[in-house]
Amino acid sequence: MNLKNKKPKFDLWEVLVITFMASLVMSLTTGFVVYRNKNLQECNLANNNAYVSEFLRTYNQIVNEYYGEVDELELIRSAINGMTNFLNDPYTTYLNPDGSQSLIDSLKGTYEGIGIEVTENEDGQILIARVFENSPAAEAGVLAGDVITMINKVSLEGKIPTEAVDIIRSATDKKVELVISRNGQSMTFNMTKTTLFLPTVNAEIFENNNKKIGYISILRFTETIGEQFKKDLVRLESGNIDSLIIDLRGNQGGYLKGATDIASIFLKKNAVIYSMKSKLDTTQERVATNEYRDYKVYVLINRGSASASEILAAALKYSYSDTKLIGEVSYGKGLIQQTSPLSSGSMLKFTTAEWLTPKGYSVEGKGLIPCISVNLSEEYDGSYPTDNQLQRAIEEISR
């Protein structure tokens, strides 16, 4: 196989098992789709609602009569948090101002951190899935595949990726100390958090069997992902590619519009991209443009491919003429969230609908099954030579 560019930038988020709780920021929203409904209106309950009146009466009594000091803002935040916890929906959450800003920044493409993405491996350990170039972690010598055992003197034993992320995020002095295990040896790295740009799209051209295969990895569905993807696709097409591999491994989602925009580039007009089932009805999202392709488009997925990634993968699998999914069963996130900013700077992220594939199937808790199943090699270290999933995709698509 001849690699046109010797330094591909696809550190496969894959070792991810949720696979990669995207960046120290993206873990906040494990597998998510944010749906922007411009017509959403605030629902005002009537003042004479018995339940609301009871809540307000309790609030007033606590504020006015409780003998100790009461922080009214924190009291309200606790009440909202209690309501979201009562729903027992892991995707419906109350985000404090810091969490809200992290979500906003991640979807815009920036965040404050050390430049790593983490996941949980099969042994329940916190694994570094990706290290961004020119980041504090990269400069310190941290590598993809390292297992983090301690952050700022706090043991990660028994903790999940989001808890590891919270420890780094809470470092107000911006100093972060990682203790990692690499090949059985313990190593300590010290670094300082900084504002980083999250790469969103990586594009390369591979050559195999006298064919040119375009490759685009989508790291997350940000506000401008459709434009970025189209720009790189046009560049690859100007290089006379014969086919395209879209890499969605470790991509946990983002804006639903991004998946719709990219699917519309490939599917014929009026093709079904997905259906949305809400409390009131079920509607279909169809392609409105007449811009489509006719070459092979294969999609790489893994256990970290969730929500918007699954929507795009399913749209191509069921509505495109020549698509195969390669890799591992995807995450299985079939619910859609909306966000509602609050006056305090906090945010409510809540589930409003379920999305269905063009065939009407739900992936919630099940995921998408690849046409060609390929588990990531244990030798994978973030480099192309150890990326057996991508190599298999190139071999299959160039037959």
Judged against a pLDDT cut of 70, whether residue 83 lies above it is answered with: yes
Distance (Å, rounded) from C-alpha 22 to C-alpha 287? 29
Cβ of 396: how many Cβ atoms within 10 Å? Answer: 17
Query: Which active-site residues does the annotation give?
Result: 307, 333, 337
Q: Give residue 48's pLDDT.
A: 67
Query: Same domain for 135 and 153?
Result: yes
Judged against a pLDDT cut of 60, whether residue 216 lies above it is answered with: yes
Rounded alpha-carbon distances, angstroms, from residue 395 to 173, 214, 390: 48, 13, 9
How would DSSP label each residue in 310-325?
HHHHHHHHHHSSS--E
- The answer to whether 396 and 355 have CB atoms below 8 angstroms apart is no
Q: Predicted confidence band at 100 (pLDDT cuts at 50, 70, 90)?
A: confident
Mean pLDDT of all residues belonging to the chain: 86
Residue with tokens 């670094």: 191
Query: Same domain for 244 and 386?
Result: yes
Distance (Å, rounded) from C-alpha 77 to C-alpha 70? 13
How many structural domains does the chain have?
3
Q: Give residue 37's pLDDT.
A: 57
Residue 226 carries which side chain, given as an amino acid letter? G
Residue with tokens 């390669």: 326
Q: What CATH number does the domain containing 159 carry?
A: 2.30.42.10
Residue 118 lies in a domain: yes
Q: Which of 162, 196, 230 is the last residue of a domain?
A: 196
Query: Same domain for 77 and 191?
Result: no
User: What is the rounded average pLDDT of the residues 244-262?
Assistant: 94
Residues 6+ away with beta carbon under 8 Å from 45: 52
Min mean pLDDT across 99-103, 185-189, 249-253 is at 99-103
Distance (Å, rounded) from C-alpha 103 to C-alpha 178? 24
Q: Which of 146, 172, 196 is the last residue of a domain?
A: 196
Query: DSSP letter at 21?
Result: B
User: What is the rounded average pLDDT of the residues 356-381?
Assistant: 95
Backbone dihedral angles phi then psi of residue 145, each to the nearest 5 degrees:
100, -15
Residue 228 lies in a domain: yes
Could you tell me which residues are beta bridge partners of residue 267?
A: none
Judged against a pLDDT cut of 80, whether residue 18 lies above it is answered with: no
Judged against a pLDDT cut of 90, whether residue 282 lies above it is answered with: yes
Residue 105 lies in a domain: no
Query: Same domain for 316 and 385?
Result: yes
Residue 272 lies in a domain: yes
Q: Give residue 391's pLDDT.
A: 97
Residue 284 lies in a domain: yes
Query: Same domain for 331 and 184?
Result: no
The pLDDT tens digits of the residues spanning 262-276 come to: 999 999 999 999 999
Residue 41 lies in a domain: no
Q: Predicted confidence band at 103 (pLDDT cuts at 50, 70, 90)?
A: confident
Q: What CATH number does the domain containing 254 carry?
A: 3.90.226.10
Residue 5 lies in a domain: no
Nearest to 266 by CA among 287, 248, 239, 242: 287
Judged against a pLDDT cut of 50, whether residue 24 lies above it is answered with: no
Q: Give residue 29's pLDDT.
A: 41
Q: Helices (H) and strands (E) in the chain — how many of each?
A: 10, 22
Query: Same domain for 125 and 219?
Result: no
Q: Give residue 63's pLDDT.
A: 94
Query: Same domain for 180 and 295?
Result: no
Residue span of the structural domain in which 75 resides: 50-89
Q: Give residue 147's pLDDT.
A: 95
Query: Same domain for 79 and 125?
Result: no
Token pair of 233 as six digits: 């696709």
Q: Which of 196, 217, 237 is the last residue of a domain?
A: 196
Query: Same domain for 216 and 320?
Result: yes
Query: Same domain for 175 and 303?
Result: no
Query: Same domain for 271 and 154?
Result: no
User: What is the rounded average pLDDT of the residues 30-37?
Assistant: 63
H-state helical runs in 160-295? 161-169, 225-238, 256-266
Which range is most confident: 108-112, 249-253, 312-316, 378-382?
A: 312-316
Judged against a pLDDT cut of 60, whether residue 67 lies above it is answered with: yes
Query: Same domain for 212 and 135?
Result: no
Judged against a pLDDT cut of 90, whether residue 319 lies above it is answered with: yes
Residue 45 lies in a domain: no
Q: pTM, whole model, 2 decimals?
A: 0.71
Residues 6+ away with beta carbon under 8 Å from 112: 25, 105, 174, 193, 194, 195, 196
